[in-house]
Amino acid sequence: MNNGQVYFIGAGPGDEGLITEKGIRALVRADAVLYDRLVNPKLLLHARPTAEFIYVGKFPKHHTLRQELIQEEIIRYAKNGQTVVRLKGGDPGVFGRVGEETQALDKAGIAYDLVPGITAGIAAPLYAGVPVTHRDYGASFAIAAGHRKKETEGELDWQSLAGIETIAFYMGVNNLQQITDQLLAHGRSHDEPALIIEWGTTGRQRTVQASLATLALTAKEASISNPAITLVGRVNHVYETKSWWERKSGFGQSYIVAYDEHYNEGIQQELQETGANVLVYPHVTSIAKPSPTNYWHDVTSICFEDAQAVRHWIVWLRECNVDIRQLRAELIVRTELAAKQLEQFGLSSMQDDTREAEVSLSGLPGTEQIGTTTHTYHPMSHDCLAKQFGSGERQTVHFPTVASVSFFMDSLRQGGIEWVADYIDAICKDREVEPVVKPYFAIKEEEHESDLVRRSWQSGESRDRTVRAVYS
């Protein structure tokens, strides 16, 4: 068997948009993904639901052993002919130990690609409003490790480092006193500004400014912890208390939007624009099950529970070689969207909530119709959701439609995370959604901040997009 290809991909510093297109392309193809602690878990949703996801941040603390185990795992998957993605926070070449991993692959004769990422030492300052170089303040920039793991790694060359105008220290929060002592001993000034950016580029971003003389104490008082970048240099003069990122209206907000094929894309995009962290749950792939009948032209009445059922029915007609003009069935719909979807195919229907039909079709999970759909939930989708709840924090979930409630509940069950239901406050986008949600969640009145969601929901823009997608 041929060896599989390995991709080392930079996942960026935290904001899920800061990964490269090339990185996403490799993720989409991956059979196995090995990922680190600081990688945004939402990026894993780009990979197929059938891929294997291996969290290597949990491997033994002992660094040498951990590193060897990771290398062995990558080689094992690649030797099985699988496409492997090794997903690393920031850029794989910056304190990412990628050199050791590629060396092991070279030895094993396995081919690999290296895909750069956006490194935290540049991105976190930028999200705090500070560019690492500036015509007025600094034209040289260095990246340095704030602490060295082993005795043998030796000391940094402080003399040379102190000659660089801007310095980004990684992994340095527990070592700030030593860092500032050394810089001061090598000629930097006491009142030079420094910045610490914790959880840069995420909704948890926190920034603390101090002078070199007061940095260690200020960070301690603010209980700054990892991950954080310490930026030293006169460029910090451009820092203002709240950066462009922290000023965004949705900064620090988290939203969960229950999946609905018509609405979530539009809602997600609009909320993300505001800087909010948005999770659409579940991440689902739906495919039509085999056609429930071969005799579509003989069926006298068909009922469509939703728009997806219409789309799958069109697929079945094609598979069974039935020309739409041969049909004599009466078409009944339960929702307006289903009617609209039929209209797109030139078919008129009758909306009736009670009439039974010879064949009843539904695209929703957990329904007992004759013709249904298979839904595959992305396994990492459950992890992403569970993470949002952290240590028992309540979360608001927006339910745009009745269908979204079915998907949400079915996925919670399949993911074995029904416990989150106790911590959910539901916002219903429509009166008809409320009675469906009530048995499961506490209902919350809509707040002003979710106006955007409502507007997007009403715009129907995403609905048009879906219809177009069916045609293309």
Would you say 338 and 306 are in contact if contact means Cβ atoms under 8 Å apart? yes
> 15, 42, 171, 429: which is the annotated catalytic residue?
171
Both tokens assigned to 188: 């930097």
Q: Which of these is catalytic: 36, 91, 306, 410?
A: 36
229 touches ligand SAH (CB under 6 A): yes
Tell me the residue nearest to ligand SAH as measured from the CB.
90
Instruction: Tell me if residue 171 is catalytic.
Output: yes
Main-chain phi, psi angles of 372, to 5 degrees: -130, -165
91 scored as a contact of ligand SAH (CB under 6 A): yes
Annotated catalytic residue 306: no
Question: Using alpha carbons only, what angle is made at residue 135 by residues 129 and 141, rounded to the nearest 5 degrees?
Answer: 70
d(CA 166, CA 193): 11
3-class SS at 134?
strand
Instruction: Please say if 409 is a catalytic residue.
Output: no
Is 114 near ligand SAH (CB under 6 A)?
Answer: no
96 near ligand SAH (CB under 6 A): yes
Helices 307-319 & 461-471, crossing angle to 10 degrees?
Answer: 0
Give, as ranges, the residues between 323 and 342 that touch ligand SAH (CB under 6 A). Answer: none
Residue 229 Cβ vs ligand SAH, minimum distance, rounded to whole Å: 4
CA distance 193 to 103: 40
Among 197, 215, 219, 232, binds ligand SAH (CB under 6 A): 197
Residue 222 near ligand SAH by CB under 6 A: no
Contact 1, 81 (CB under 8 A): yes
* Catalytic residue chosen out of the listed positions 1, 58, 61, 150: 58
Which amino acid belongs to residue 137?
Y
Is residue 38 a contact residue for ligand SAH (CB under 6 A)?
yes
Place of tokens 């007025």: 136
- Dist CA 112 CA 97 (whole Å): 15
Position 193 contacts ligand SAH (CB under 6 A): no
Binding flag, residue 89, ligand SAH (CB under 6 A):
yes
Compare residues 16 and 260 and give the one whose CB is closer to ligand SAH. 16
**Is residue 201 at the binding interface for ligand SAH, with CB under 6 A as the rule?**
yes
Rule CB under 6 A: is residue 13 a binding residue for ligand SAH? yes
84 touches ligand SAH by CB under 6 A = no
Cα Rg of the chain (Å, integer):
27
Binding residue (CB under 6 A) for ligand SAH from 5, 83, 102, 119 = 119
Q: Considering CB under 6 A, how many residues would be counted as binding ligand SAH?
A: 24
The least distance separating ligand SAH from the CB of residue 100, rounded to whole angstroms, comes to 14
Q: Which residue has the tokens 């009403």?
A: 458
Of 47, 35, 45, which Cα lies nearest the Cα of 11? 35
Q: Which is nearer to ligand SAH, 91 or 260 (CB)?
A: 91
Nearer Cβ to ligand SAH, position 227 or 365?
A: 227
Task: Mark residue 152 as left, alpha or beta (left: phi above 0; alpha: psi -120 to 50; beta: remaining).
Answer: alpha
Question: Rule CB under 6 A: is residue 226 a binding residue for ligand SAH?
Answer: yes
249 in contact with ligand SAH (CB under 6 A):
no
- By beta-carbon proximity to ligand SAH, the closer residue of 225 and 351 is 225
Phi and psi at residue 439, to the nearest 5°:
-65, -20
Which range touches ligand SAH (CB under 6 A), out of 70-78, 100-108, 119-127, 391-399? Answer: 119-127
Distance of CA 3 to the CA centre of its chain: 30
**Strand arrangement, sheet containing 141-145:** 141-145, 166-170, 228-232, 193-198, 206-211
- Sign of the alpha-carbon dihedral angle for 315, 320, 323, 324: negative
- Pick from 6, 171, 314, 361 the residue near ligand SAH by CB under 6 A: 171
Binding of ligand SAH by 170 (CB under 6 A):
yes
Number of other residues whose CB lies within 10 A of the CB of residue 374: 11
Helix 336-344 with 307-319: angle, nearest 10 deg: 40
Q: Which residues are catalytic?
A: 36, 58, 171
Interaction site with ligand SAH (CB under 6 A): 13-14, 38, 88-91, 94-96, 119-120, 124, 170-171, 197, 199-202, 226-229
